[in-house]
Amino acid sequence: MLVGHYAPALLLRRAAPDAPLWALFLAVQALDLGFFALAAVGLESARVVPGGRPVFEVTHGVYTHSLPAAVALGLVCAVVGAFARRPGVGAALGAAVTSHWLADLVVHVPDLPLGFTQEPAVGLGLWRLPVVPWALELALLAGAWLLLRPRLAAAARWPGDAAVAVLVLVQLLHEHVVPTPSSTLALGASAYGLYLGAAALAWRVDRAARQP
């Protein structure tokens, strides 16, 4: 999943208004940020098939894309938040981290490990279908934004509209225009660009939301 991951971030911001949106945006992609960093040094790996269905399949992702890793990293965020006396923010960030695995579960072919080895692995495989996966991602993103938007200060709504519009554009370009990079390293570089750029857009929403 690509921009659909931001739907839980928007909903968690609605539930926990103290949680910075930029941090939630990074948290929902934390497993991918970890995956592409570990893949760059050969500790995890994927098969990339430009134009294929799916274009991307995890071949070794135990450290970042297994169920125990996703749950453990989420719990770490919650515990750190509790120690920092920000339990609500920590719980929201932890839920954001773990939400990545659940969202990936819907679209990935069975490549998400259930335990500490690559097999057995799960995935409902929506990526095998045309249109449905990216239409679902856009619907989740738009729906979550429509639920959060009225809760934000008026000054933060337009920066949020702009951020969501950029994400919609990225998803459509990714599906229809820009070819998928052919290596995991190149895919990781573009993913980092997107994830950090999206966090910067979310930071603008946070800043506008704080203005009196």
Q: Site residues (CB under 5 A) for Zn ion?
A: 32, 104
Tell me the CA distances in angstroms from 94 to 44, 62, 183, one per residue in order. 22, 19, 30
CB of 65 to Zn ion, least distance (A): 6
For residue 153, give the nearest of 198, 88, 212 by alpha carbon.
212
Nearer to Zn ion, 63 or 86 (CB): 63
Sign of dihedral through CA atoms 20, 21, 24, 25?
negative
CB of 132 to Zn ion, least distance (A): 18
CB of 144 to Zn ion, least distance (A): 18
Nearer to Zn ion, 35 or 145 (CB): 35
Other beta carbons less than 10 A from residue 153's beta carbon = 12
Kindly give the residue spans of alpha helices, DSSP state H, lying in the chain.
6-15, 21-28, 30-40, 62-65, 67-83, 87-107, 132-148, 154-176, 184-210
For residue 2, give the nearest of 194, 130, 203 by alpha carbon.
194
Phi, psi of 173 (to 5 degrees): -65, -40
Nearer to Zn ion, 107 or 152 (CB): 107
CB of 165 to Zn ion, least distance (A): 23
CB of 111 to Zn ion, least distance (A): 10
> What is the SS3 assignment for 108?
coil
Nearer to Zn ion, 32 or 206 (CB): 32
Nearer to Zn ion, 149 or 190 (CB): 190
Q: What is d(CA 210, CA 195) in angstroms, rounded to the nearest whole number? A: 23
Phi, psi of 121 (to 5 degrees): -130, 155
Nearer to Zn ion, 39 or 89 (CB): 39
CB of 203 to Zn ion, least distance (A): 22
56 bridge partner residues: 48
